[in-house]
């Protein structure tokens, strides 16, 4: 059932139920209640439907639903008061038409009493209406949070790649004897990577400069592992350094290029990273030797993960594409709005 249907059903049945109670009440309270007297109550109920619907339109139109409770309250009370008055006069008018009108309908006591009664009924209606919306919005934000958490977890999985860490440690173990100086450097590279992956959890965005430091450490580590099988070129335009990027996103993309591209080639190959500004957006191009197979597009390359992050962070302002540039090169293209610190 859609929300519109639910709204109209509750409107109709709610107000009819209200009318039924009023009529029943009339019978109980006054001994000379005539069936014809139910008429103005029913018309009143219909008027309630119309006026609350009108209230809903205004509330939507003027964005009252987004207001915090403290700002909403006065607006709500005033509108209820304004609505409560005509409702009563509709009843008086109807009574007049069907000939059950009596003078005491217009005594101050009666007028005030009925308006207050209407006020209470309308107060209940609006409270239910806003409560429903608050609950719904709360629900949505809960769902959002769950999605965020899950993504966070996924991100951790794909980015702190254990395979990489243990292979790196294994290389270092061998280096200790072969080239002690280099092994010390390697330990620094690895700890820098681990550190940035830990801080990455706490920040939504970091500067490209910081991210490139991680990427360089990562590449240094992989170069120790794969030796002459990897050749890297990095060109970062100076005006891109302060642009904000999601932490470890470039590192993940570079790692993908190595894991699915270069490491699969016996002779290895080249990897290049280029960043520049174009039409005031940041462009990152990662090229690696290898060839993309269609099947891998959605799974192996962690593409889904990256796209998800980009959508949450940049809505549809970001662009991400991975494709075969030619027969032996894969191009990963990333375009981000160039937000600066």
Q: Which residues bind another protein (CB under 8 A)?
A: 162-163, 166-167, 169-175, 177-178, 224-227, 263-266, 268
User: What whole-number distance in Å separates Cα of residue 97 and Cα of residue 77?
Assistant: 31
Residue closer to another protein, measured from CB, 262 or 310: 262
Give dist(CA 122, CA 15) in Å, integer: 11
CB of residue 199 to another protein, shortest distance in Å: 23
Residue pair 338/318 in contact by the 8 Å Cβ criterion = no
212 vs 271 by CB, closer to another protein: 271
Closest contact distance (angstroms) between CB of 267 and another protein is: 8
List CB contacts of 255: < 8 A, sequence separation 6 or more.
161, 164, 218
We find the least distance from the C-beta atom of residue 226 to another protein, in angstroms, to be 7
Closest CA to 220 of 264, 172, 279: 172
Torsion-angle region of 337 (φ positive above 0: left; ψ -120 to 50: alpha; else: beta):
beta
Output the smallest distance, CB 158 to another protein, in A: 14
Q: Which is nearer to another protein, 205 or 289 (CB)?
A: 289
Residue with the two structure tokens 């004897």: 177
* Least spacing, CB of residue 228 vs another protein, in Å: 9
User: Sign of the CA dihedral 183, 177, 268, 321?
Assistant: negative
- Strands, E, within the chain: which ranges? 206-207, 230-236, 244-245, 269-278, 281-289, 319-326, 329-337
Minimum separation from the CB atom of position 185 to another protein (A): 14
Pick between residue 40 and residue 290 the one whose CB is nearest to another protein. 290
CB of 171 to another protein, least distance (A): 5
Q: Closest distance between another protein and the C-beta of residue 304, in Å?
A: 20
CA distance 86 to 79: 12
CB of 198 to another protein, least distance (A): 19
∠ Cα 234 239 240 (to 5°): 55
CA distance readout (Å), 138 to 46, 128, 312:
32, 15, 19
Strands 244-245 and 329-337: unpaired
Which one, of 161, 149, 243, lies nearest residue 194 by Cα?
161
Q: Which lies closer to another protein via its Cβ, residue 24 or residue 176? A: 176
Number of other CB atoms surrounding residue 321 within 10 Å: 10
Total residue count of the chain as it appears in this document: 341
């Amino acid at each position: 059932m859609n929300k519109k249907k639910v709204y109209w059903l509750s409107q109709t049945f709610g107000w009819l139920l209200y009318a039924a109670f009023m009529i029943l009440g009339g019978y109980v309270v006054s001994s000379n209640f005539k069936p014809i007297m139910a008429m103005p109550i029913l018309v009143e109920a219909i008027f309630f439907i119309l006026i609350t619907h009108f209230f809903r339109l205004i509330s939507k139109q003027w964005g009252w639903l987004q207001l915090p409770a403290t700002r909403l309250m006065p607006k709500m009370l005033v509108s209820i008061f304004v609505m409560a008055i005509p409702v009563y006069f509709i009843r008086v008018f109807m009574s007049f038409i069907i000939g059950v009108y009596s003078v005491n309908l217009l005594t101050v006591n009666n007028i005030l009493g009925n308006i207050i009664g209407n006020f209470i009924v309308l107060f209940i209606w609006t409270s239910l209406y806003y409560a429903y919306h608050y609950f719904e919005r709360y629900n949505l934000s809960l769902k959002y949070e769950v999605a965020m958490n899950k993504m966070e977890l996924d991100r951790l999985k794909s980015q702190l790649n254990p395979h990489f860490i243990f292979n790196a440690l294994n290389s270092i173990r061998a280096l200790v004897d072969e080239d002690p100086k280099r092994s010390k450097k390697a330990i620094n590279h690895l700890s820098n990577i681990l550190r940035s992956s830990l801080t990455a959890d706490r920040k939504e965005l970091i500067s490209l400069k910081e991210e490139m430091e991680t990427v360089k450490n990562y590449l240094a580590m992989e170069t120790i592992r794969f030796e002459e099988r990897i050749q890297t070129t990095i060109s970062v335009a100076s005006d891109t350094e302060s642009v904000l990027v999601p932490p470890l996103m470039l590192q993940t993309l570079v790692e993908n290029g190595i894991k699915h591209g270069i490491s699969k080639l016996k002779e290895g190959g080249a990897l290049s990273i280029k960043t520049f500004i174009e039409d005031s957006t940041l462009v990152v191009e990662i090229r690696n030797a290898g060839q993309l197979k269609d099947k891998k597009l959605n799974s192996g390359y962690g593409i889904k993960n990256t796209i998800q992050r980009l959508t949450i962070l940049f809505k549809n302002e970001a662009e991400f594409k991975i494709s075969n540039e030619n027969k032996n090169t894969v191009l990963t293209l990333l375009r981000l709005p160039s937000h600066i610190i």
